Chains A and B, each alone.
Chain A
Amino acid sequence: MAILAYAVAATGGLAAALLGLAGVLGTAFTVRAPWLLPLGGLEVTLDPLGGFFLALIGAAAVPASIYAMGYAAGERRGVLAYNVFVASMCAVPLAANVLTFLLAWELMSLASYVLVVQSGEREAVRAAWVYALMTHAGLACLLAGMLLLGSWTGSFRFTDWYAAASPLPSWGPGLAFVLLALGFGVKAGVIPLHVWLPLAHPAAPSHVSALMSGVMIKLGVYGLMRVGLDWLGGGPAWWGVAVMLAGTVSAVVGVLYALVEHDLKRLLAFHSIENVGIILIGLGAGMLFYEAGLPALALLGFAAALYHTMNHAAFKALLFLGAGAVLHAAGTRDMERMGGLIKRMPWTAACFMVGSAAIAALPPLNGFVSEWLTFQALLQNLKIDRPEVNLVFALGIAGLALTGGLAMACFVKAFGITFLALPRSEAAARAHEAGRAMRVGMGLLALACVVLGLAPTLVVPALAKIGADVMHVPAPADVGGWLTLNVSGEFASLSTLAVAAALVTALAVPAATLALAGIGRRRRLYETWGCGRLLQTSRMEYTATAFANPFKRVFDFFYRPVTQLDIEVHPESRLFVRRIEYANPTSSIFEDWLYRPALDALHRWARRARGLQSGSANLYLTYILAALLALLVLA
């Protein structure tokens, strides 16, 4: 039963992916049903950008659904919500007017809320509550922004906005941009609107986390692309500056939080924030170049953002599926209780390794290509002759470089602590390899990571065409041949195929030489070096906490860690220690300085307002009298 439903989702995903691909390649159509609902009715249309996101969602839904056939085969809860979730996500990029868009958007949010809450655990319920609150705050912003734009331009169709954007009041597009960007930013998990993301993603089942992290938050990015470049026809430079700064902060802060996180799925959720940041850096660069009248560079930044969107969908979905397999096998999300899984689940480990290398932007995998493209776009900022804008670009470059290094460290930790060394718990020692359906799901995504890394020369021209359609500029003629990708003529070039060939040769030639020379035959096997100790146990291993500690110290002004040492001694003498507990938790700046004060203020006002509703009928009669008098006077 459940398997059938997931098969439907996989088939639907495949169909959506093909339709989206057709849209990217130039097929366009519009379906209208104005009689169905007020405010313009339902209307869907396929254009290149919408097609790109549709293809992305469909292509991610296929492996996730196949995986779910093994992961959640016996679980009937959440099957309907999953299908609704996938279908509504597919509808969002197709929506052509406000009503259709908001309906699909809200359906997507509600379906994912149901999926987050379905396990029924305390933690999941709280996560779902925060998620519902934040996503509806975002929806309120979207609603306000879209209704404002609709009433100003007199149309609720998105395509009409572009034509009508010029006669708006001067502050109009700015206000609309801020409202819509806030609304989409919540969904994309942009810092400081990210609080729901590290709670909701781990609480959902892993195939849902993969879709939420891989594609749902990308729809926030989709909205930002539409509002920043398409609907309003671009805006002043501060739009681009805001997007790029938000991206830089999200990237750096996201990876910093990920580094000290030891819950595998929460770690991945924080990396989603980081990667959305990287996408926004590219998008911000595109918007700034567009505003400065440099369409070719704008296309480069935009294409980099789209490429990273696609890549992140591939490797983050893969990593979440891998984390799900680990969770399934070891029964915990706590990395400190894992270890040694590479021997027990080699397929999962190999797939997770590919995903880790891709997200850490190691060549020749896909993460490297898109981060490289983003850097190439940023590095050409001197063509804009404005020091304050160049400064913002410099911040973006520095932030992206720091992010890359820290992401690498974080995935050395994530892979090393989870899969290597000896198992740290009984459950990890008894872990078993994931089932066939799960392995197929992960394998497809790992393959996508490799292919997207090796074929940028096929992908980038298509992405540039999408960008040209969104920005209403001609597409660049040439981005190099099949082997080498050229950026802005002679500025930079990259051939991942050559890099891959060089890497393979560098590994294969010494191995072959050694084998031929017979070195391997004089091999001596000996146990793992354990500093000469007689006994080796998992307690001697490096832990995730230990790995993260140097970073905690260097960035202590950000983490503000608190050391809690609790020692219980024998009542006779304090020299005999019975128990030592050590904790070194970090505190969140955003919770302490932004959400806590805001919530406290809200509570204070609510308490004050409670005085109005005392339960006394006499008081209520007074209110009615006062209201009546006020209305009479005003009328």
Chain B
Amino acid sequence: MFHQLRVALRTGIVTEPPPAGEALSLEALGARLHEEIHRRFGRSLHIRQVDAGSCNGCELEIGGLTGPHYDLERFGLHFVASPRHADCLLVTGPVTLNMAEALRRTYAATPDPKIVIAVGDCGRDAGIFRGSYAVVGGVADVVPVHAVIPGCPPSPRALLAGLLDAIGRAR
């Protein structure tokens, strides 16, 4: 306990300042997202991220969303630890043979109504891994997909824009 307190006190601020200029458009996008979520889901959208065989490039960008610069929780989006708590599945990567059943089970374990979003070029159609003996295909080949966010990997901004798009289309 004392060790942890000492480390916390000794370590200064380690983050770097955000890039200039980007902030305004991000806020505008976020505000629209916030409004859309408020309108369609009451207050918040809970997301379960599923890695179906990704190279973890998309995960890095998704992880960036929770950082202090993007901070998606202020728009009413939350990442949750179980599909039982989720409204939305964010699936990355080509669906490998080993993960196909797990993805199906995750889909089944998510309560209705639910949105599935395939992230990245691999999620869209297995990308450069298409045709591999270890890959089933894109996310749509395994579970129904409502929206796709392309990119290799998509930037956090693109992810937010894609989420907005998907929510706008969801009934």
Could you list 6 further interchain pairs (A-B, Cβ under 8 angstroms) beyond the known A529-B109, A532-B103? A526-B109, A529-B83, A532-B99, A532-B106, A533-B102, A554-B1
Q: Is B82 an interface residue (CB 8 A)?
A: yes
Q: Which residue of A lies closest to B108 (CB)?
A: A526
A529 and B84 within 8 A (CB): yes
Interface of B is mostly: helix
Q: Which residue of B lies closest to A556 (CB)?
A: B1
Contacts of A555 in B (CB 8 A): 1
Contacts of B22 in A (CB 8 A): none
Query: How far is B2's CA from A555's CA once the two chains are assembled, in angstroms?
Result: 9
Q: Is B101 an interface residue (CB 8 A)?
A: yes
Q: Is A557 an interface residue (CB 8 A)?
A: yes
Q: Size of chain B's interface in residues, with CB distance under 8 A?
A: 15
Query: How far is B106's CA from A531's CA once the two chains are assembled, in angstroms?
Result: 8
CB under 8 Å from chain B, chain A span 536-567: 553-557
Query: Interface readout for B11-51 with A: 1 if CB under 8 Å, 0 if not?
Result: 00000000000000000000000000000000000000000
Total of A-B residue pairs, C-beta within 8 Å: 23
B1 and A557 within 8 A (CB): yes
Give the interface of A toward B (CB within 8 A). Answer: 524, 526, 529, 531-534, 553-557
B101 and A534 within 8 A (CB): yes
Q: Which residue of A lies closest to B3 (CB)?
A: A556
Query: How far is B102's CA from A554's CA once the two chains are assembled, in angstroms?
Result: 36
Contacts of A534 in B (CB 8 A): 101
Query: Interface readout for B85-106 with A: 1 if CB under 8 Å, 0 if not?
Result: 0000000000000010111011
Which of A529, A532, A553, A556 interacts with B101 by CB under 8 Å? A532
B105 and A532 within 8 A (CB): yes
A529 and B103 within 8 A (CB): no
Rounded to whole Å, the gap between the CB of B47 and the closest CB of chain A is 16
Query: How far is B108's CA from A553's CA once the two chains are assembled, in angstroms?
Result: 38
Query: How far is B111's CA from A557's CA once the two chains are assembled, in angstroms?
Result: 45
Given contacts A529-B82, A529-B84, A529-B109, contact A557 B102 (CB under 8 A): no
A532 and B1 within 8 A (CB): no
Q: Which residue of B lies closest to A558 (CB)?
A: B1
B102 and A532 within 8 A (CB): yes
Interface hub of B101, B106, B109, B112 (most chain A Cβ within 10 A): B109
Q: Which residue of A lies closest to B104 (CB)?
A: A532
Which of B2, B101, B103, B112 interacts with A524 by CB under 8 Å? B112
Task: Enumerate 12 A-B pairs (CB-CB under 8 Å) in ascending A order.
Answer: A524-B111, A529-B84, A529-B109, A532-B99, A532-B101, A532-B102, A532-B103, A532-B105, A553-B1, A554-B1, A556-B1, A557-B2
Contacts of A557 in B (CB 8 A): 1-2
Query: Interface readout for B53-97 with A: 1 if CB under 8 Å, 0 if not?
Result: 000000000000000000000000000001110000000000000
